[in-house]
Structure 1
Amino acid sequence: MKQQYFFLKHGIWHFAGLQISDRVRPLHWLSFYFLVFAFLLSPIAAGAADITQQLHRPLSNSSWRQSRDQADSLLHVGEQQYASGYSDKTIESCLQALNIYRSVGDIKAQGLTYDLLANAYIQQGQFKEGEDALRRRLAIARDTKDFQAQIFALNNIASLLLQAGEPVPAGKTIEEALAIAHNVENIEGEGLSLSNLGLVTARLGDYNKAIKLYETALTFRRQTGDSFGEANTLNNLGDAYLAARNYQDTIGSYGAAMRIAKINSDRTNQLRAIDGLVTAHTAVGRYERAFELLAQRLTLANQSQNLREELKSFESYARLYEQLGNYPSARNFYERAIILARTLEDNKQEVRLIDRLTQMLKR
């Protein structure tokens, strides 16, 4: 399995929280993006030695293989559940897989499982549990001297610090990751860390410096042929230009990200780029283009059968129609979004959408 990593995006867009990551790819796989909640997180350290103590008695070779295959199957199911937006189910699958990996003494697989588990917890808004999973991942990486995993884990922890409103500690954590990447000549890690350092810098309001960091990050990501990372950094660059109200370069950056993501069937970055383009085109009055992009967004969500992304598409339609004063159409899309929230049993989303619809109807 390839190392997974993500990085929550900084909050300069229309959504209310940081979104997953630098890249969200399956664990056999691995890009993001990406988006602005505020929670205080308590560091919870956990060493690989603690995990080792939980190992069961040695199993026979046949039992070991059977158990290992069962854990691998659970992890694969968890990946599919996460890709479909069912992070609660992902958590259940990961915890079951972890118990088996512990019993057979597979430390490496535990580390990879913690990656996915952290993503799932964070998507569920369980940030303390997400941080715990990340710190366990980091502990395993340090004990096994897995420098690449350390780089990614440190970046992920920094994402939570940034989301909790602590950009300075987040920046220091990323700088630690960048130093490791530089020392071991890990170009991929340097690209990731520089891109995420740009996120921190943008959060601090220095968009010009952030833009320079993103441009430097792009050179590393292109050296490794990291198309997922390149698309994510281009989206980050678009975010910075958008915050600086440089709409021409905003559209150029998001457009490049969308093209690369489309070629690589990278729906996460493609959807994120579309969201940015919709915002930029709307800002300059290009409403027809904004609606064309929303149609593409909804098609992508339908193709991947991702109900959460369908919900986001409906809400984006509703907001745009509301902005244009077309309240009947806005109401229609809000109601469709509410139905999906109920289908997903997402009470918070349902209440939020109902409230927004109610406020609109009072006008």
Structure 2
Amino acid sequence: MKQRYFLPEASILNLNPRLNSGLKSWDCAILASRQGGKSQFLTACLLILAVAFSPLVASAADITQQLHRPLDRSTLRDSRDQADSLLNIGEQQYQLGYADKTLDSCLQALEIYHSLGDYKAQGMTYDLLAKAYIQLDRLQEGEDALRRRLAIARDTKDFQSQIFALNNISTVLLQKGEFIPAGKTVQEALEIAQNVQNIAGEGLSLSNWGLVNARVGNYSKAIKLYETALSFRRQSGDVIGETNTLNNLGDAYLAMGNYDDTIGTYGAALRIAKTTRDRTNYVRAIDGLVTAHSSVGRNERAFDLLEQRLAMARDSQNLREEFGVFMTYAKIYEKLNNYLTARNFYERALVLARTLEDSKQEVFLVDKLTKLPKR
């Protein structure tokens, strides 16, 4: 059973094989922008179905308020079917971007699984709860859900789930800026993976340990860890994991000013992501390459890549990504002292900032345009 994790690796691990069998559209990470074009119609249809078949909102206020009432034998099958349905609806709601509705569905499912004494199903539900909480930027609640998932994995001696739960907890701690606990947690995951000879877990843990080192500025150690992680990820056939690690490695080279290795590493990530249609890593690799090429004066190549990036943003109707492309264009032209073109892109970015109701960027851009030379 393949398991996945989140944050710069992309997003939280999907530890639910039953959901994956019917919903293969992951691999877009916590994240990933999925709306756009014809997919809006499909999205609307899926949402209508999810809402139409969704039961009443859970009465539980949070994941600590689960009921403990036993169920009659005659109701066990119906109860399990209901819980499974709720969990599937929750996954659909999450993929459609309705994390708040995912919480309601998961909390109801959790009540039933608790009554049934189904620890495996409870673990999968906590995984989805964590994903939803983190998407809503409720990191503490997401961490709490992951720790409950870890406790179940330890009680059932499920070492693989322990490895991935620890990695997920580590990435949440990293998001919270708690670098030392994040490092200790991922090292615990690595130790378990090594003890049970879980190659995929070793690759993931080494990559995340590299990420912790990169966040504290220890890029040399991060690079060594990433390089070792790549070996394990290739052995396990984890192509998406390999691409993630390549992008992490590119980030580290870029931070050190090693542009040749930066371009080569991001280029490798780009090729793999294109082949596997991994949009998240493809976009990440393009952004890294744009920065690297523009840093060494290869502006034509940077502009070619930006055109691809802009086309992707427009195809998916992702205004936030389009805003980012305009900002990158503007910064490069400003660096080239082409203030007229830079102003044009800053103005286009300002329009999008207002559309997105991003007051912080709006204030920044108004000030930027005021100070930018007019010639």
Please say if residues 80 and 112 of structure 2, whose CA atoms lie closer than 8 Å, have aligned partners that are also in contact.
no
- Offset at residue 149 of structure 1 (A): 1.4
Report 1 or 2 for greater relative contact order, CA contacts < 8 Å, sequence distance ≥ 6.
Answer: 1
Residue 5 of structure 2: aligned partner: 5
- Offset at residue 283 of structure 1 (A): 1.0
Please say if residues 167 and 189 of structure 2, whose CA atoms lie closer than 8 Å, have aligned partners that are also in contact.
yes
Structure 1 residues 67 and 162: alpha-carbon distance in aligned structure 2, compared to 1, 3 A threshold = same
Structure 1 segments unaligned to the other structure (5+ residues): 10-19, 36-48, 343-349
What TM-score, normalized to structure 2? 0.77
Name the amino acid aligned to 1:57. L
Structure 2 segments unaligned to the other structure (5+ residues): 32-62
Q: Give yes or no for the alignment of 1:143 onto 2:155.
A: yes
Residue 127 of structure 2: aligned partner: 115
Residue 75 of structure 2: aligned partner: 60
Among 323, 344, 347, which residue is 1:332 paired with? 347
Structure 1 residues 217 and 32: alpha-carbon distance in aligned structure 2, compared to 1, 3 A threshold = farther
- Offset at residue 220 of structure 1 (A): 0.3
Length, aligned pairs only:
327
- Offset at residue 280 of structure 1 (A): 0.8
Among 109, 116, 137, which residue is 1:100 paired with? 109
Among 82, 85, 100, which residue is 1:70 paired with? 85
Residue 267 of structure 1: aligned partner: 279
Please say if residues 217 and 233 of structure 1, whose CA atoms lie closer than 8 Å, have aligned partners that are also in contact.
yes
What secondary structure is seen at the aligned counterpart in 2 of 1:362?
helix
Residue 154 of structure 1: aligned partner: 166
| CA distance, structure 2, for counterparts of residue 24 and residue 273 of structure 1 | 23
| CA distance, structure 1, for counterparts of residue 13 and residue 297 of structure 2 | 31
Structure 1 residues 21 and 91: alpha-carbon distance in aligned structure 2, compared to 1, 3 A threshold = same
Residue 288 of structure 2: aligned partner: 276
Q: Which has the larger radius of gyration?
A: 2
Residue 362 of structure 2: aligned partner: 354
- Offset at residue 229 of structure 1 (A): 0.3
- Offset at residue 25 of structure 1 (A): 10
**Please, which moves more after superposition, 285-294 or 172-181?**
285-294
Task: Work out the percentage of aligned pairs sharing the same amino acid.
Answer: 54
- Offset at residue 339 of structure 1 (A): 4.6
| CA distance, structure 2, for counterparts of residue 6 and residue 309 of structure 1 | 20
Residue 224 of structure 1: aligned partner: 236
Residue 171 of structure 1: aligned partner: 183
| CA distance, structure 1, for counterparts of residue 152 and residue 75 of structure 2 | 25
Name the amino acid aligned to 2:363. D
Name the amino acid aligned to 2:89. L
Please say if residues 238 and 250 of structure 1, whose CA atoms lie closer than 8 Å, have aligned partners that are also in contact.
yes
